[in-house]
Chain A
Amino acid sequence: DVKVTQSSRYLVKRTGEKVFLECVQDMDHENMFWYRQDPGLGLRLIYFSYDVKMKEKGDIPEGYSVSREKKERFSLILESASTNQTSMYLCASSLQVTVYGYTFGSGTRLTVV
């Protein structure tokens, strides 16, 4: 089974801090994704990457950046955390959506105070 590991389950950061959320997958998946989940809004795509050093903006990229230096690792960066970025962050990976679907990590619940 594919395993997608997110480095932190819970995180509390202060407004203005730079925050790194890490995601590692242990299969040879090309695609990796970062979503945030908020009550009543479902999952919204922040960024995704289909190859090393490649990235594409999702629906809500403002205030975020990403890094994919190695195939297995996809990092989400909050350049200057704000309280409206308090949310559940979910990482996912897939080999090909059309064939193998998505596998999600267990999520990071980030609170910005």
Chain B
Amino acid sequence: GIQVEQSPPDLILQEGANSTLRCNFSDSVNNLQWFHQNPWGQLINLFYIPSGTKQNGRLSATTVATERYSLLYISSSQTTDSGVYFCAGGRRGANNLFFGTGTRLTVIP
């Protein structure tokens, strides 16, 4: 399978701070996605971003497909941003995704 490395594994932020999460892939991937898992376990799809940059409110993501990495930016963090962030990707033509081990974000007031 494809190895997915996420960094940092844990992150503690003061409310209002900015952060960058990184995801590296061992092989070329298609279908790169970012997810947020809230403290109750629900995983929500944040971005589908096989390449380029997308923004959604305080979140944005950039994928450099040729270098096999993606970045998730969180600006002006809020306590509701707490949880685990996963990136995932799959091979072209495949329907399954490989997930990283996640970055656990804690935003303190």
A58 to B96, alpha carbons, bound, how many Å? 8
B90 contacts A97, CB within 8 Å? yes
Are A101 and B95 interface neighbours, CB within 8 A? Answer: no
Contacts of B40 in A (CB 8 A): 106
Interface of chain B: mostly helix, strand, loop or mixed: strand
Q: Chain B residues with Cβ under 8 A from A44's Cβ? A: 99
Residue-wise, chain B 73-91 has the 8 Å CB interface mask toward A (1 for contact) of 0000000000000101010
The answer to whether A97 and B97 have CB atoms under 8 Å apart is yes
Query: In the complex, what residue of chain B is closest to A97 when comparing beta carbons?
Result: B31
Are B102 and A33 closer than 8 Å at their CB atoms? no
CA distance A79 to B43 in the complex (A): 27
Total A-B pairs, Cβ < 8 A? 59
List of A residues within 8 angstroms of B95 by Cβ: 31, 48, 50, 94, 96-97
B41, B45, B98, B102 — which one has the most chain A CB atoms within 10 A of its CB? B41
Known: A31-B95, A94-B95, A97-B90. A42 touches B45 (CB 8 A): no
List of B residues within 8 angstroms of A19 by Cβ: none
A48 touches B31 (CB 8 A): no
Tell me the bound Cα distance from A56 to B86 in angstroms: 23
Partner of A42, one of B31, B33, B94, B100: B100
Residues of chain A within 8 A of B33, CB atoms compared: 101-102
| Selected contact of B41 from candidates A31, A50, A92, A107, CB within 8 Å | A107
Q: Which residues of A contact B (CB under 8 A)?
A: 31, 33, 35, 40-45, 48, 50, 56, 58-59, 88, 90, 92, 94, 96-98, 100-104, 106-107, 109
Q: List 7 additional contacts besides A42-B102, A102-B88; criterion CB under 8 Å.
A: A41-B101, A43-B88, A48-B95, A97-B95, A102-B97, A106-B40, A106-B42
